[in-house]
Structure 1
Amino acid sequence: MSEAPSPALETALAYHRAWTGHDFDLAMTYVADDIVCEAPSGRLEGAEAFRGFMEPFSQILTGSHVISAFGDDTTALLMYDTKTLPVKSAPGAECLTVRDGTIRHLHIIFNQAPFIAAQGAPSGS
């Protein structure tokens, strides 16, 4: 018999399924109003700023799969790979702090190299 996922991991996976499934309104139900997000572009504070950062990325997403996921009562760690319109593979990881079923802090590590390379590629590549 397998053990049930931790509370933080359940929230993190539900959030991930929502944004990668192009339901950003549902994804935002897992995000606290006062979320703090440490993103590759810098620190974001509040749900509105977070949505402004993350939703445009979700709109160019064509696929995603979770490579690994771990969690306990308050912290979850997801590693995943995404497919987007500009690049076929864009791996990332998120460390999420969850309280009362909402994400309070999110630290995103994202490989920007594939996007940088795609911007420099000649058209038709």
Structure 2
Amino acid sequence: MSDQALRVALDYYAAWTGHDLDKAMTFVADGIVCEAPAGRLEGAAAYREFMAPFVSMLVRAELFGGYGDDEHALVAYDTETRLVASAPAAEYVTVRDGRIIHSRFIFDRLPFVRARS
């Protein structure tokens, strides 16, 4: 067993938290399926559209930890954005052939709702 999925997940995390969405998308499969609090997204274009606004308002990110094996990885972190000071989240991803094919985002949308109202 190796940690290939964890390496991909961490490289992806480093890219988008470094405001390089183009690089981050190189770790995402064309047919990605993403399950997030806002609903299910299918395809790389929809995934990019989902991530772009968040990446553009990101101020900083702090990695809590990452765990994984050949096929799955879990990355947990906290983010600060222009809207909220703290937005902890986790992503559980499935990786095949060096790309993320499935992502499950877990985060609380309430701080963002409150900040926008």
How would you bin the TM-score normalised by the shorter chain? over 0.9
What residue in structure 2 maps to residue 85 of structure 1? Answer: 82
Query: 1:99 is matched with which residue: 91, 96, 99?
Result: 96
State the alpha-carbon separation in 1 of the partners of residues 21 and 62 from structure 2. 17
The offset of 1:61, in angstroms, is 0.2
Percent identical pairs in the alignment equals 55
Normalized against structure 2, the TM-score is what?
Answer: 0.96
* AA aligned opposite 1:91: P
Q: What is the CA-CA distance between 1:119 and the residue it aligns to?
A: 2.3
Alignment RMSD: 1.0
- Specify the code of the residue in structure 1 equivalent to 2:76: M
Corresponding residue pairs, total: 116
Question: Relative contact order (C-alpha < 8 Å, sep 6+): which is higher?
Answer: 2
**Structure 1: segments with no counterpart, 5+ residues:** 121-125
Runs of 4 or more, structure 1, over 3 Å off, are: none
Q: Which amino acid counterpart does residue 108 of structure 1 have in structure 2?
A: F
Larger Rg: 1
Q: CA deviation at 1:56?
A: 1.0
